[in-house]
Chains A and B, each alone.
Chain A
Amino acid sequence: MSGAAVELRAVSVRFGALDALERVDLVIPAGAFVAIFGPNGGGKTTLLRVIAGLLKPTGGTALVLGESPEALPAARMGYVPQVKRLDPQVPAQALEVVATGVTARWPWRIGAAEAQARAAMKAAGAEHLAERRVGSLSGGELQRVYLARALARQPQLLLLDEPAAGIDVAGEAAMYHALLDYQRASGCTIIMISHDWEGARAHASHALLINRTIRAFGPAAETAANHALLELFGHTGHVKATH
């Protein structure tokens, strides 16, 4: 795949008096694996929601896979939202949720979508959760189910909002493995919000540092180097700072 997967020109988003994004210009090449870093309230999720077509910018223009984000067909994009707690009584099985990745509607009968849904659950390390009621899943288990849902439709663009939140170390490694395997097979573009600097630096091709405006965008190893993160956050977390 060649060309740009995402093109943003002077994109701004304003919530009342608050500027969540200010004149963001960004071109993400097709086939890239972009890890987005930024402080809380820095506009990471807002940026992802604009790209997903969930939020209309108050200024500027956006193109995703050559189309305006709201017009992009659901089948071309897989979206994993931030970890959430579901109503424990919700009458839904994990397999049904993953099947929505194939059908883009709630299935009355899973039918033909079942094989694809089960294969995606296997790829995401969630096959053992297929018959479980989703309300009983932990945050990490639910993220695996949502990742399987996003993979099930074999999208050209994967958008992930902190997919590793709540997932244990082994699960996190399996998640990166599943994402990279899928990317190798499909050439899709992956855009992922992360707080896992080490993991993202090891696996992503690009890093994007954001705090309402784009602070840096480029190859992951250099862009997400500790000194850049130190400048963005004022801290490097538990990772030893290197200047």
Chain B
Amino acid sequence: MPLLDALSAEFMQRALLAGLLVSLAASYFSPFVVQRRMAFLGSGLAHAAFGGVALGVFLGWAPLYTALPFTVAAALAIVAVRHHSALDIDTAIGILFALAMALGMIFLYLTPFYTRDAFTYLFGSLLALGPSDIWLAAGVCALTAALVPWWSAWAFASFDRELAVADRIPANRHDYLLAAALAALIVASIKVVGIILVSAFLVLPGAAARPLAKRFRTFTLLSLAIGTSTTIGGLLLSAPLNLPSGPVIILCQCGVFAAALLAARWQD
């Protein structure tokens, strides 16, 4: 489909709006995820979201709105395990990851009708984006905007948690807030990039911005610029190429990441 035709299509306009909203949120959180080495948490929550989506499909409920509380609960449980047990965070995520996938597969197996929809969630689909998905993306974007006043506290705790706690930043409480926000963002991003690639969507803008930034402020601004431009660029490319949107967005972000590494090396 030529680009201009694609832009005039209602589904593409919805996709661009949803993509812009979720990419703003994802690329805002990305520096915290990268600096705190939380990439595996994103991956674990994406798989928890799969369990929630499958539960929604099985029960005949709206899959994303079923996945939302499911994934937020999983995020809060992971943080609680980290704070209150001797279990290593990676082990806790790994166990939850497997549990959610196993539950998801059983829910899909037990679903008495053909579950082609489930694949929409695994790989993302612009055609499947409806008004309720836009509302979910807008809600997550509004939540992100509401959390901006915590930027200074989260940046400080991302730099040196011990110093931040000594300066009376309640980093443990903030961990719950950040994890819940990431869970909501992951659910809202599923139809744009798909469950399989959503954790990369959360990591790549920050990973590409970090080698180029000298300050945390620049890190955040560059991440926002990279995340939103690659998402819109990937969506626009995917229509004329007739390729699924999620992989095209992630390939664009990987390209920028590689360029950023080269640019940083050249700067040095």
A positions within 8 Å CB-CB of B = 52-54, 73-74, 77, 79, 81, 84, 86-87, 89-93, 96-97, 100, 103-109, 133, 146, 149
Contact = CB atoms under 8 A, between A and B. Distances in A.
A92 B160 CA distance: 11
Interface string B161-178: 011011111000000000
Nearest to B151: A108
B214 interface: yes
Given A92-B215, A106-B155, 14 more contacts: A81-B160, A81-B162, A81-B163, A87-B35, A89-B210, A91-B215, A92-B216, A104-B168, A104-B169, A106-B153, A108-B152, A108-B217, A109-B217, A149-B163
Interface of B: 35, 151-153, 155-156, 159-160, 162-163, 165-169, 210-211, 213-219
A106 B167 contact: no
Nearest to B213: A91
A108 B216 CA distance: 8
Contacts, number: 66
Nearest to B162: A81
13 contacts: A52-B166, A74-B166, A81-B163, A87-B35, A90-B159, A91-B213, A100-B163, A104-B167, A106-B152, A106-B156, A106-B159, A107-B152, A146-B163
B152 A133 contact: no
Given A91-B216, A97-B159, A107-B152, A79 B166 contact: yes
B163 A79 contact: yes
Nearest to A81: B162
Contact of B152 (A53, A86, A91, A105): A105
Determine the main DSSP class of B at the interface with A: helix
A91 B165 contact: no
Nearest to A95: B215
Residue with the highest number of chain B CB atoms closer than 10 Å, among A54, A73, A92 = A92
B68 to A, nearest CB: 30
B214 A93 contact: yes
A104 B163 CA distance: 9
A75 to B, nearest CB: 9
B167 A96 contact: no
A81 B153 CA distance: 19
Contacts of B169: 104-105
A81 to B, nearest CB: 5
A171 B148 CA distance: 40
Contact of B162 (A54, A133, A149): A54
B218 A91 contact: yes
A127 B169 CA distance: 27
A54 B216 contact: no
Contacts of B162: 54, 81
Contacts of B168: 53, 73-74, 104
Given A93-B215, A108-B151, A77 B166 contact: yes
